[in-house]
Amino acid sequence: MVSTIVHQLTKNLSMEEIENSGFGPYYIDHTVGIWPQAAGGVPFNACEFQSKGDPITDLFEDLAAEQKARSTYDNILRVVRDIPEIADPIKFLRAREIVHFQRFGEALRSVQEQLDAKNFYAFNPSFDMPCMETCKDCK
In whole angstroms, what separates CA 90 from the centre of its chain?
14
Domain assignment present for 124? no
Classify the C-alpha dihedral 78-66-89-11 as positive or negative. positive
Say how far apart CA 92 and CA 98 lie, in whole Å.
Answer: 10
Say how far apart CA 65 and CA 59 lie, in whole Å.
Answer: 10
- Please tell me whether residues 96 and 57 are part of one structural domain: yes
Domain assignment present for 131? no
Number of domains in the chain: 2
- Please tell me whether residues 60 and 37 are part of one structural domain: no
- Please tell me whether residues 44 and 75 are part of one structural domain: no
Express each pLDDT in 8-33 by its tens digit.
888 888 999 988 988 888 888 888 77
- Please tell me whether residues 41 and 67 are part of one structural domain: no
Say how far apart CA 127 and CA 77 lie, in whole Å.
Answer: 43
Domain assignment present for 21? yes
Helices (H) and strands (E) in the chain, counts: 5, 0
98: domain range?
Answer: 49-115
CA distances from 49 to 1, 62, 90, 107, 119 (A): 19, 9, 22, 19, 28
Q: CA geometry: angle at 3 spanning 52 and 90, to 5°?
A: 85
pTM: 0.68
- Please tell me whether residues 42 and 54 are part of one structural domain: no
Helix (H, G, I), strand (E, B), or coil: what is residue 49?
coil
Say how far apart CA 60 and CA 11 lie, in whole Å.
Answer: 38
Express each pLDDT in 50-106 by its tens digit.
888 888 889 999 999 999 999 999 999 999 999 999 999 999 999 999 999 999 999
